[in-house]
Amino acid sequence: MVMSVYESGVQCTLVGDGMVGKTCLARSFADRTFPVKYVATVMDKYSGTTYVDGNKYGITLTDMAGEHDDLATSTYKETDVFVVCYSVVDRDSLDSVRDFWAPEIRNIAKKRPVILVATQTDLRKDTKSQHVSKKEGESLAKHIKADGFLESSAFAKEGISAVFKTVVQSSLRFNKKKCNIMKRVFNR
């Protein structure tokens, strides 16, 4: 029996370099708070809900440290959708998505949906350094074959809802494709 996303919820894993705002994004969605001090994450879990097309969906978020290990590999295999984060004020984190995170996910989780999310957009105006533009993010999303690209600011509470609605929509599309493939294979 194939369970729908509506019945089982969506398992979502947030990955990206350390200090790019993954925990702030997760907490802004799950409990509507913004952490005021940085605490390094090994692996934390959060849950929240969102509505898509009038239906309520539960999302379990796994917030992974900015490192890879055996724990990450097992978590990746249970994930429905990946949210890969970079900070708009940390160009190295953008490069890490292209050079490390996207290949890492594709190596382990193959065809699972990936949503690329630019974080900390509220800091663009506060920094004198060269920030990552929206156009660069969109270009990277195409390069890594992401299912979506969004910008967000957990501090300003902008784009959070859109990120997690996109997570649910990507999961629904992925499950529909998977179901159609199973039907074709077993209806022969």
Number of Cβ within a 10 Å radius of residue 115 = 23
The pTM of the full predicted model, rounded to 2 decimals, is 0.87
Mean pLDDT of 134-140: 97
Nearest CA-CA partner of 25 in 133, 124, 135, 156? 156
Percent of the chain with pLDDT over 90: 65
Please answer whether residues 137 and 118 qualify as being in contact, where contact means their C-beta atoms are separated by less than 8 angstroms. Answer: yes
* Highest mean pLDDT, choosing among 108-112, 127-131, 132-136, 181-185: 132-136
pLDDT at 5 over 70: no
CA–CA distance, 116 with 145 (Å, rounded to integer): 10
Q: Which residue range(s) make up the domain with 59?
A: 5-186
Mean pLDDT of 155-162: 96
Q: How far apart (Å, rounded) are the C-alpha atoms in residues 114 and 77?
A: 13
Number of domains in the chain: 1
pLDDT score of 147 more than 90: yes
Q: How far is CA 131 from the centre of its chain?
A: 21
Q: Is the pLDDT of residue 183 over 90?
A: no
Cα 19 to Cα 63, 75, 93, 109, 172, distances in angstroms: 12, 20, 9, 24, 30
| CATH code of the domain in which 172 resides | 3.40.50.300
Residue 92's contacts (CB-CB under 8 Å, 6 or more residues apart) are 17
Can you read off the two tokens belonging to residue 32?
């509507």
Q: Is the pLDDT of residue 172 over 80?
A: yes
Rounded CA separation 154/125 (Å): 15
Q: What CA–CA distances, in Å, run from 86 to 27, 92, 113?
A: 17, 9, 17
Pairwise CA distance, residues 25 & 8, whole Å: 22
Given a cut of 50, whether residue 88 has pLDDT beyond it is yes
Which residues sit opposite 115 in a β-bridge? 83, 148
Whether the per-residue pLDDT at 52 is higher than 60: the answer is yes
